[in-house]
Amino acid sequence: MATSSENSRGIGGGDRTAKAIVADQITQAVNSTANLLQLMRQSSSSQAQLAKLPKNLLAKASLTKATGQALAQLPQVISSLDAHIESGLHSGVHLNTVTQLLENMESTQLRALRQSNISPLTNDK
């Protein structure tokens, strides 16, 4: 019997995140349901039971499969968003430095302007 640590490893033996495992399980369940509906359509003995199902349920089989495929991509999307957020957080540190430099430049320029405005007044006296 497989242990939980064995279940978290892929065929290649690499560790997988819980998000990826859950996404795989959801995808498998959705695909199994879609495949079961397809088999029921093809089986003459299932036609009577299949006819009892709501008509729109069969129409949603392809939508269900597409949803499973979208769910399978979620871990990669989340990982990519995490990377962008992390990059943004690191950029924040640089933004603070640039802001401080601009404030220092502004302060220096204002001081120089004040001194240039004061100097002519003292020369007139």
> Are the CB atoms for 34 and 61 separated by under 8 Å?
yes
- Cβ proximity of 50 and 40 under 8 Å: yes
More confident residue, 98 or 119: 98
Cα–Cα distance between 82 and 103 in angstroms, integer?
32
Helix H or strand E segment including 107: helix 61-124
What ranges do the domains of the chain cover? 4-124
The residue type found at 55 is K
Please state, rounded to an integer, the average pLDDT across all residues of the chain: 75
DSSP reduced 3-state for 60? coil
8-state DSSP, 15:
B
Average pLDDT over residues 79-93: 85
Upper half-sphere CA count for residue 59 (Cβ side, 13 Å): 3
Neighbour-count burial of 68, counting CB atoms closer than 10 A to its CB (0-12 exposed, 13-18 middle, 19+ buried): buried
List the single range of 7-16, 24-33, 82-91 with lowest mean pLDDT.
Answer: 7-16
User: Does the structure show a pLDDT above 90 at 24?
Assistant: no
Tokens of 51: 């006819």
Q: Check pLDDT > 60 for residue 5.
A: no
